[in-house]
Chain A
Amino acid sequence: MSNIYQPDLMTITKVIQEAPGIKTFHLKFQDEEVANNFSFETGQFGEYSAFGAGESTFCIASSPTRPEHIECCFRETGKVTAALANLTEGDTIGFRGPYGNTFPLDDWKGKNLIFIGGGIALPPLRSVIWNCLDLREQDGRFGHISIVYGARSVQDLVYKREIEEWNQMENVTMVKTVDPGGETDDWDGHVGFVPHVLENDFKPDPENTVAIVCGPPIMIKFAFEALERLGFKQEQMVTTMENRMKCGLGKCGRCNIGSVYVCIDGPVFTATQLAALPNDF
């Protein structure tokens, strides 16, 4: 019988230092059959193991439209992430997944999209951003795409190269910001918290638009409130939750918000769904 707790092995093919304490891994399955059978959709997550330390939960930060490898991006905060950060190219990690639900791309056809993220919450958005950009490139299925992203300081911004790439794209609006005090002399973006910049500087039009928000619970709360003041309805707002998890399989009992298990029923939720949940996140 198959062991649901046993990971597949992956090789780290590339390590990128995104920001202080934040790294990206490019990962490839070691077993060819596993690689061939693997597929995922944007929004899903996995359990990544550093053998000897344990497992950590991160989203898959790459887009399914670019299947040559998968990526994860993490900040060093505890035992497992510290052990992961010590690994280098060619090292082996474990991966279980993909788990969870996905961003409802089919519902977004013909709509404008705004991605709103803060700090280390860009990786989950980055997967869906590239997914949407690539699909729009193929068949023009989405309208205008905007990205509002901020971090504590300039050096804390992740995917700096891609932020510039998005900035250069003609049919993408890139709004970048850093918290007050986090700017540098040559900073050409906004200064202010993400929800504030969203509401007062960017002021998106809610008409035929979906806003996808990712960040710490407090940022999600303020971003949703800002969006509502801008005229967005709850069904136009989507988020992905990052509750603490261990199994990813609906069994270990940690990630629940009321009867909703983020690992099984999430991590992607609309604001309408969140509003129906008890205040436990």
Chain B
Amino acid sequence: MKTATLNKSDIGKCIDLLLQADLRVIAPRLQPQVDEDGPDALEVLTFTEVKSGEGHQVGKGLLPLNGVKEFLFAKHEPLFAYEKRGKKIEIIPVHHEYPQTVIIGVRPCDAASIASLESVFSDANAGFEDPFFTERRSRTTFITYSCTAPDSSCFCTSVELSPDSAKGSDLHLTEIGDGRLHVEVITKAGEAVAKQLQELLKGEGDQATREKAGAEVTEKLTRIRDSAPIMDWLMDTANFDDEMWQRLGEKCIGCGACTFVCPTCHCFDIVDENKGSKGYRVKIWDSCQFDHFTLHASGHNPRDWQYKRYRNRFNCKFKIYPEKFETPGCVGCGRCIRACPVNLDITEYMAEVAHKATNPNAIKAE
């Protein structure tokens, strides 16, 4: 693997070089607040398209609120336009721009989620390829940045990742002290980007220091859950009716915050946006936490209580994704924990399940 070093202070210059090469660059940025110093203001860090290397927050702050999902799987995606002419309809394709894009400052958990989304939207899933996703995916390069300061909601090490993992990365950066970054070229796309940055990349990297740095940060993760027995426990359909689902889930208020901030949640709705005799059919984000999500036309709702909707979400992460799509459903970013207004914590479910799965005294339904 090709390695190099880069000065941390040169990241702004990197962004400028990428922009000069006519690439679209997306990086973490702080959003303006009404009263920056007021008690209500929180730092709002998001991935945003940037027009210059100034003001970027690459490597600063932990996780942008939005993740990278929206740059591959748009919040609002026009699928085609239509026009009614008397009894006839004309379908007009919508022109989409798929600019060659680099997303810089992606954390390892977010990078690992790309393969999961891909397993849903690519033709590997039942032979149906969502061209809007795959076109964007094939034109997007991820420059990842190992974490240095995980917070109390992070749990990537509980789902077989680590704060310095290069999984899903094209070009991976890790701080190795003295304001330097160890650069690893992971893929061909990463190599192409490295070429654009050539003037800033120096010599060889420092693999040993990089490994050590990664291991030190891994030590800082406090929220460790045993996820190994979870899938097996969920595979036993009798456990679908276990008492824990209602007990832990009854406080859930049914907003979609956890699903929309989740890097692997992929549910969507298809609706028409009509104006007079024309309109667009669009694909928009949806959430399995909404009460009408599975409501049948007959009025029957298979998930008629909120705790059943959260049960579906948990099953989706730890059973459906690995079983059906053969990719991880959870990357341990902790966004759902930070976002939940009522502190419904996915790792409490994980702990409970792991306990039930491994504790011989736990009552197991037949």
- Cβ contact within 8 Å between A81 and B312: no
Chain A residues 47 to 90 lying within 8 A of chain B, measured CB to CB, are 49, 51-55, 75, 77-78, 81, 90
Q: What 0/1 pattern do residues 105 to 149 of B give for CB contact below 8 A with A?
A: 000000000000000110001101111001100000000000000
List chain B positions with a Cβ less than 8 A from chain A. Answer: 79-80, 82, 84, 87-89, 91, 93, 120-121, 125-126, 128-131, 134-135, 237, 240-241, 266-272, 274, 279, 281, 283, 286, 288, 293-298, 300, 302-303, 308, 312, 315-316, 319-320, 323-324
Q: Is A169 located at the chain interface by the 8 A CB criterion?
A: no
Give bound CA distance, A92 to B308, whole Å: 39
Q: Is A180 located at the chain interface by the 8 A CB criterion?
A: no
- Cβ contact within 8 Å between A259 and B324: yes
Give bound CA distance, A280 to B270, whole Å: 23
Give bound CA distance, A250 to B312, whole Å: 16
CB distance from B252 to the nearest CB of A (A): 16
Given contacts A3-B131, A54-B272, contact A249 B302 (CB under 8 A): no
- Cβ contact within 8 Å between A51 and B82: yes
Task: For A256, list chain B residues within 8 Å (CB).
Answer: 312, 316, 320
- Cβ contact within 8 Å between A261 and B131: no
Q: Which residue of B lies closest to A52 (CB)?
A: B274
Q: What 0/1 pattern do residues 211 to 244 of A give for CB contact below 8 A with B?
A: 0000011100000000000000000000000111
- Cβ contact within 8 Å between B91 and A91: no
- Cβ contact within 8 Å between B128 and A259: no
- Cβ contact within 8 Å between A247 and B240: no
Q: Which residue of B lies closest to A278 (CB)?
A: B240
Give bound CA distance, A246 to B87, whole Å: 25
- Cβ contact within 8 Å between A3 and B266: no
Task: For A250, list chain B residues within 8 Å (CB).
Answer: 120, 125-126, 128
Q: Which residue of B lies closest to A216 (CB)?
A: B298
- Cβ contact within 8 Å between A244 and B93: no
- Cβ contact within 8 Å between B297 and A77: yes
How many inter-chain contacts with C-beta < 8 Å in the A-B complex? 143
Q: Is A251 located at the chain interface by the 8 A CB criterion?
A: yes
CB distance from A119 to the nearest CB of B (A): 9
- Cβ contact within 8 Å between A277 and B237: yes
Choice from A54, A94, A243, A279 contacting B296 with Cβ under 8 Å: A243
Task: For A163, list chain B residues within 8 Å (CB).
Answer: none
Choice from A51, A81, A91 contacting B279 with Cβ under 8 Å: A51
Given contacts A77-B297, A92-B89, A242-B296, contact A6 B80 (CB under 8 A): yes
List chain A positions with a Cβ less than 8 A from chain B. Answer: 1-7, 9, 11, 49, 51-55, 75, 77-78, 81, 90-92, 94, 216-218, 242-244, 246-247, 249-259, 261, 264, 276-281
- Cβ contact within 8 Å between A3 and B272: no
- Cβ contact within 8 Å between A3 and B308: no
Q: Which residue of B lies closest to A89 (CB)?
A: B87
Task: For A261, list chain B residues within 8 Å (CB).
Answer: 324
Q: Which residue of A lies closest to B259 (CB)?
A: A253
- Cβ contact within 8 Å between B324 and A1: no
Give bound CA distance, A78 to B292, whole Å: 12
Q: Which residue of A lies closest to B274 (CB)?
A: A52
Choice from A77, A258, A276 contacting B315 with Cβ under 8 Å: A258
- Cβ contact within 8 Å between B272 and A252: no
- Cβ contact within 8 Å between B270 and A243: no
Given contacts A217-B302, A261-B324, A280-B302, contact A4 B129 (CB under 8 A): yes
Listed by A's residue number, 7 A-B pairs whose Cβ atoms lie within 8 Å are A5-B79, A5-B281, A51-B272, A51-B281, A244-B293, A246-B270, A259-B324
Given contacts A52-B279, A251-B120, contact A279 B240 (CB under 8 A): yes
- Cβ contact within 8 Å between A78 and B281: no
Task: For B286, list chain A residues within 8 Å (CB).
Answer: 246, 252-254
Choice from A51, A253, A278, A280 contacting B89 with Cβ under 8 Å: A51
- Cβ contact within 8 Å between B237 and A251: no
Give bound CA distance, A199 to B271, whole Å: 43
- Cβ contact within 8 Å between B269 and A218: no
CB distance from B295 to the nearest CB of A (A): 6
Choice from B91, B279, B297, B316 contacting A9 with Cβ under 8 Å: B91
Give bound CA distance, A252 to B286, whole Å: 8
- Cβ contact within 8 Å between A252 and B91: no
- Cβ contact within 8 Å between A279 and B241: yes
Q: Which residue of A lies closest to B265 (CB)?
A: A253
Q: Which residue of B lies closest to A255 (CB)?
A: B294
Given contacts A253-B266, A254-B294, A276-B237, contact A3 B80 (CB under 8 A): yes
CB distance from B33 to the nearest CB of A (A): 34
Give bound CA distance, A52 to B282, whole Å: 11
Task: For B91, list chain A residues within 8 Å (CB).
Answer: 6-7, 9, 94
Choice from A81, A92, A246, A279 contacting B268 with Cβ under 8 Å: A246
Q: Which residue of A lies closest to B129 (CB)?
A: A4
- Cβ contact within 8 Å between B267 and A91: no
Give bound CA distance, A242 to B319, whole Å: 23
Give bound CA distance, A201 to B135, whole Å: 59
Q: Which residue of A lies closest to B77 (CB)?
A: A5
Task: For A5, list chain B residues within 8 Å (CB).
Answer: 79-80, 130, 270, 281, 283
Given contacts A1-B131, A54-B271, A251-B125, contact A91 B79 (CB under 8 A): no
Task: For B128, list chain A residues within 8 Å (CB).
Answer: 4, 249-251
User: What 4 additional pairs, Cβ within 8 angstroms, besides A3-B80, A52-B272?
Assistant: A247-B268, A251-B120, A253-B316, A280-B308
Q: Which residue of B lies closest to A94 (CB)?
A: B89
Task: For A253, list chain B residues within 8 Å (CB).
Answer: 266-268, 286, 288, 316
CB distance from B231 to the nearest CB of A (A): 10
Choice from A75, A259, A276 contacting B297 with Cβ under 8 Å: A75
- Cβ contact within 8 Å between B268 and A252: yes
Choice from B84, B131, B237, B267 contacting A52 with Cβ under 8 Å: B84
